[in-house]
Amino acid sequence: MICENIRDILERIEKSKNKPVHKGEVKLIVVTKTVPIDKIKEAIDCGITDVGENRVQEAILKFKDESVTKSVKKHLIGHLQTNKVKKAIEIFDTIQSVDSIYLLEEISRQAEKINKIQECFIEIKVSEEETKYGLPPEDLKKILDKSKELKNVNVTGLMTIAPLFENTESVRPYFKKAYEYYSVFKADYSLKYLSMGMTNDFEIAIEEGANIVRVGTGIFGERKYE
């Protein structure tokens, strides 16, 4: 079932790459929030190379199994509190949810202690929802400039989370906006990735320029695993 779902998602990704913005691949990150380790291993056996977790504490428990840790690239896609940074950089290859200069500075400080250059994405807020995290887009240049001063972080992309709509077409303007910011800054700051789109809207995200999508429910189903 998991393998079939992954194949289906990958096929839908390919079909969505129908605009000139896509000269390369679209990477699938499998979101494993609340999913037990045996299901994650099954997804890895089906060829998955990247997984995304929302919470540092949950990731600590899952990825203590070294066979899993070594075989996939691990992304933190949930909000990161500064008091969790030390643990986060020990676990994650990429932190996609950097939403302030202060947080970026703390990541660099903690990464320096373990002689690591931490890959990061800047999470930008393209909606007006108060519940959404993310950096105001007008502050994007400031944080990207700051990233060049920090020796132990490497900002390689942008990430955003769009609002949920019953009509998924309503999400398109938000993805367009994120792609516009990505287009403005990618050359000067060597940005490679734009991470946006989840189970309900990843096809629209790809059409609007995403080259990383984050899918969990579409692979593991609605059930909440314990």
Q: Give the pLDDT of residue 225.
A: 36
At residue 226 the predicted structure's pLDDT band, cuts being 50, 70 and 90, is very low
Determine which of 16-30, 61-75, 96-110, 132-146 has the lowest per-residue pLDDT on average. 16-30
Percent of the chain having pLDDT more than 90?
A: 81
Checking if the pLDDT of 100 tops 90, the result is yes
Widest distance between CA atoms in the chain: 47
Q: Give the pLDDT of residue 122.
A: 98
Checking if the pLDDT of 223 tops 50, the result is no
- Residue 99, φ and ψ in degrees, nearest 5: -125, 15
Percent of the chain having pLDDT more than 70?
A: 96
Q: Give the pLDDT of residue 54.
A: 96
Q: Give the pLDDT of residue 97.
A: 97
Residue 151 parent element (H or E): none
Q: What is the pTM of this model?
A: 0.94
pLDDT tens figures, 79-90: 999 999 999 999
Query: For residues 50, 97, 198 and 54, what is the CA-based torsion angle, rounded to 10 degrees?
Result: 70
Mean pLDDT of the chain: 92
pLDDT tens figures, 131-153: 778 999 999 999 999 999 999 99
pLDDT tens figures, 25-48: 899 999 999 999 999 999 999 999
Checking if the pLDDT of 182 tops 70, the result is yes
At residue 2 the predicted structure's pLDDT band, cuts being 50, 70 and 90, is very high
Q: CB–CB of 195/27 below 8 Å?
A: no
Distances in Å between the Cα of 222 and the Cα atoms of 9, 33, 111, 218 are 15, 12, 36, 8
- Residue 97, φ and ψ in degrees, nearest 5: -115, 40
Checking if the pLDDT of 60 tops 80, the result is yes
Q: Give the pLDDT of residue 66.
A: 76
Determine which of 4-8, 156-160, 166-170 has the lowest per-residue pLDDT on average. 166-170
Q: Give the pLDDT of residue 20.
A: 57
pLDDT tens figures, 111-129: 999 999 999 999 999 988 7
Instruction: For each of the domains in the chain, give its residue range(s) and CATH number, in order of start.
Output: 2-216 (3.20.20.10)
